[in-house]
Amino acid sequence: MSMRLARTLRATLAHVLLAAYRTRSTGAQNVPPGGAILAGNHASYLDPILLWCNAPRPVHFMAKVELWNSRVIGGALDRLWAFPVHRGAPDRAAVTTATELLSSGKLVGIFPEGTRHRTEGPDLLGTANAGAAFLAMRAGVPVVPVGIHGTAEALPRGARMPRFPRVAIRYGQPVYPEEFAEGGRKERVEAMTTEIMRRIALAMQQAREA
């Protein structure tokens, strides 16, 4: 898989997009040098784009397999470090791909809500899937909570043209799987998922105040 396109876009167009949205990024020092999961809130299609552009290191996003139904979009995603996942059911291929990336020191991007959730607020996140915690425990890597503010206004429902409000991205304190050592695997995954979502909510609040 050629990575030249992704590297070129990260070095050029990414800077243009971040400037267009006057993106303010804080907390990048919380992203560790090795393998880690970036887990953020999801209010807009713009979230993965700006996070891909802004992350301190290249990030491989897990994206819904339906996007690969388009040969053009799917082909582009293959060259932009993304990989497909079947939502709503266990996907061994996606789990294996994510685990291999994490084990080799890469960043993997996941939105625990699974789909866009427009309502923002510290207690108003959507229902979380347990995939981020499961993968973190499987690969033995931390989860970095990411709060993204402003993207819902950039692409509101029904809008024909994008708007350009200021966007803020906050990388929070990592959540480590070894912090959840009590109980069976299901209980540990659930406890870690709860903590991940709590820290995403905190990061969202910090992004709004940035």
Going by DSSP bridges, is the β-strand pair 59-64/143-149 parallel, antiparallel, or unpaired?
unpaired
pLDDT given at position 2: 55
Map out the domains of the chain as residue ranges. Answer: 4-209
Q: Is 153 exposed, middle or buried (0-12, 13-18, 19+ CB in 10 A)?
A: middle
| Reported pTM | 0.88
Place 194 in a pLDDT band, splitting at 50, 70 and 90. Answer: very high
If DSSP codes are grouped into helix, strand and coil, which group holds residue 64?
Answer: strand
Could you give the percent of the chain with pLDDT greater than 90? 64
Whose structure tokens read 């940035």? 210
Tokens of 157: 């429902």
pLDDT, tens only, 68-103: 888 778 788 888 999 988 877 778 999 999 999 999
The topology (CATH level 3) of 4-209 is Glycerol-3-phosphate (1)-acyltransferase (3.40.1130)
Going by DSSP bridges, is the β-strand pair 168-171/143-149 parallel, antiparallel, or unpaired?
antiparallel
- Cβ within 8 Å of residue 96, ≥6 positions away: none
How many Å apart are CA 61 and CA 110, to the nearest integer?
Answer: 6
- Residues 131, 133, 139, 145, CA torsion sign: positive
pLDDT, tens only, 146-171: 999 999 888 766 677 778 999 999 99
pLDDT given at position 143: 98
Tokens of 44: 């807009």
Element (H, E) at 49: helix 46-54
How many Å apart are CA 131 and CA 154, to the nearest integer?
Answer: 28
pLDDT at 53 over 50: yes
Neighbours of 140 (CB within 10 A): 13
pLDDT at 25 over 90: yes
Average pLDDT, the chain: 88
Q: Which of 82-86, 106-110, 126-130 has the lowest mean pLDDT?
A: 126-130
Neighbours of 206 (CB within 10 A): 17
